[in-house]
Chains A and B, each alone.
Chain A
Amino acid sequence: MKYCFQVIPELCTGCRTCELACAFKYAKDGKPGRSRIYPLAHAKDQYVPVVCFQCDDAACVRACMFDALRRNDETGAVELDKERCVKCEACVAACPFGCALTDTDQNEIVKCDLCQGDPVCARFCPEAALKYVEIED
């Protein structure tokens, strides 16, 4: 069985619940802005939740010289192996979507890993603009 993370910008109201949920799960003190998902306005009152696309041929994976970014075949996510990561920020510089970043508070690289197959953001999105759905192979 395979899953796919879907973003439906049309449904997003910019309420930032996803961001908070993510931040509470991962960042120090639940600081937003350190989350892995960013509902950003592209026009007045129109939002797009920007989050890692888990690209097939991911720039971050290519950029990492230390093999710290690898795909988890079960969840489909590109995951960061913290034990291997030296925080050189190659992935941050390389991701064309800006979806890998440095958490300076915690001194670590931050990147969406789909919460190991249970993304909190999707769970908390009141508008169902974020979905983690089963797909056919």
Chain B
Amino acid sequence: MVKLQINGKTVEAREGEMLLAVMQRMGIEVPTQCHHEAIEPTGNCRLCMVEITKKNWDGWKKCVTSCLYPVEEGLIVETHNDKLFEIRKTILDLQLARSPHSDYVAKMASEYGLEKSSYPVEPQGDDCIMCYACTRICDVLGKSAIAPTMRGHEKIVAGPFGEAPPDCIGCLSCAFICPTDHIKWNDKGNTRTIWDKKFKLIKCKKCGKKTITREFADYLIEKRELPSEYFDTCDICKRQETADTMGALVVKAREATI
């Protein structure tokens, strides 16, 4: 265990734990965009920055992203002060100019008193805030079908060579994890479309309800050694099957006792 001080309070934390986790446990709120429990932290959004120092640093302070900074013995952490407020506000201000149509950004910015950006707004700016949540979740999935490409202000997330990603299995994890709902997809009939790629949806063999894509199911079957018949029926029909099977057992048992 490691002892450190956050906003004047002494806390204990596990070795290797990140500051953000400890802060969240203490109920301290800092804004985050790129943070998600299921993925590795990368420190893209910079909003969770805190200021750290140590007794022997002679008053020298340093801004670090708390999602990535492992706890250290004797660390003194400040999570809210004027400087940090200014950093967070400026970041949101910049995003407001870049993604003027995003409700998500607008809501976060309004918490810092920002109704409109101080910078020239880009009317065509899309909602992608480059948090990499989508690419990171795809990495965790083991597919890495999409990745950030190009650089600087032109950077986008896309499949290789900007084309439909060959490795995508249409699981929608990227779209679901996207904080700004920038990643668009749709299900029409038996077909799902995402990243300009089309997928067949599995139809429940009993009721016809659509479940996940064939590619996603096959991936799970292979990767996680699951029996393929689990994926043939939808959850509702599987529940009924369960009732029927158990019911039959009860009936059988009852008949046996008579």
What string of 1s and 0s marks CB contacts (under 8 Å) between B220-258 and chain A? Answer: 100111110111011111111111101110110010000
Inter-subunit contact A90/B216 (CB<8 Å): yes
What are the residues of chain A within 8 A of B216 when measuring CB–CB? 88, 90, 93
What are the residues of chain A within 8 A of B243 when measuring CB–CB? 38, 40-42, 47-48, 50
What are the residues of chain A within 8 A of B234 when measuring CB–CB? 98
Residue of A nearest to B240 (CB): A40
Inter-subunit contact A88/B230 (CB<8 Å): no
A-side interface residues toward B, CB under 8 Å?
A: 9-10, 38, 40-43, 46-48, 50, 59, 62-63, 65-68, 81, 83-90, 92-101
Closest chain-A Cβ to B180's Cβ sits at a distance in Å of 15
A-side binding surface: helix, strand, loop or mixed? mixed
The 8 closest A-B pairs by CB, nearest first: A42-B247, A98-B238, A98-B239, A40-B243, A83-B37, A98-B235, A66-B38, A48-B243
* Size of the chain B interface, CB-CB below 8 angstroms: 44
Inter-subunit contact B246/A42 (CB<8 Å): yes
* Distance of A59 Cα from B251 Cα, bound (Å): 27
* Distance of A48 Cα from B248 Cα, bound (Å): 10
Asked, given contacts A89-B212, A101-B235, whether A65 binds B246 with beta carbons under 8 Å apart, the answer is no
* Distance of A40 Cα from B235 Cα, bound (Å): 13
Inter-subunit contact B217/A93 (CB<8 Å): yes
